């Protein structure tokens, strides 16, 4: 049985490869026309190892797990904000949250070297 010509298997025609085309210029009355390209440039930056930490004020309603505060850590190099809920501001809870977040950074290859502390807890964290 012969199949109609439209149902016969044939190889699809391959389109020619597209090699780095520039998109048309952007025109705007306030900016000059520029040509966009598909080029990406990278640069090396110095890793500083800076982190900053702070705690939120007490929330009005505790969470379902009894947490009333959040310990926040900002890593300057990765521009990453990490947070850990804590039930109170005791030295034990602050050190537990700090250790957990620093461990997360270390597992990702970021080693904190300089830490900027909140004035409120600086005397507790200086020993750590």
Per-residue pLDDT tens for 62-100? 999 999 999 999 999 999 999 999 999 998 999 999 999
Whether the predicted pLDDT of 119 surpasses 90: no
In 3-state terms, what secondary structure has residue 15?
coil
In this prediction, residue 116 carries a pLDDT of 86
d(CA 83, CA 66): 16
- Residue 45 burial (C-beta neighbours within 10 Å; 0-12, 13-18, 19+): exposed
* HEC secondary structure over 25-54: CECCCCCCCECCCCCCCCCCCCCCCEEEEE
Are 120 and 55 in contact, with CB atoms under 8 Å apart? Answer: yes
């Amino acid at each position: 049985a012969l199949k109609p010509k439209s149902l016969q298997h044939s190889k699809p025609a391959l389109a020619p490869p597209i090699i780095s085309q520039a998109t048309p210029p952007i025109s705007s009355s306030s900016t000059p026309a520029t040509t966009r390209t598909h080029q990406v440039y990278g640069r090396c930056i110095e890793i500083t190892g800076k982190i900053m930490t702070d705690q939120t004020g007490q929330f009005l309603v505790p969470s379902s797990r009894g947490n009333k505060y959040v310990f926040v850590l900002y890593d300057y190099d990765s521009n990453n904000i990490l947070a850990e809920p804590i039930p109170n501001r005791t030295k034990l809870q602050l050190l537990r949250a700090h250790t957990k977040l620093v461990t997360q950074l270390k597992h990702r290859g970021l080693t904190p070297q300089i830490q900027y502390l909140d004035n409120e807890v600086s005397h507790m964290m200086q020993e750590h």
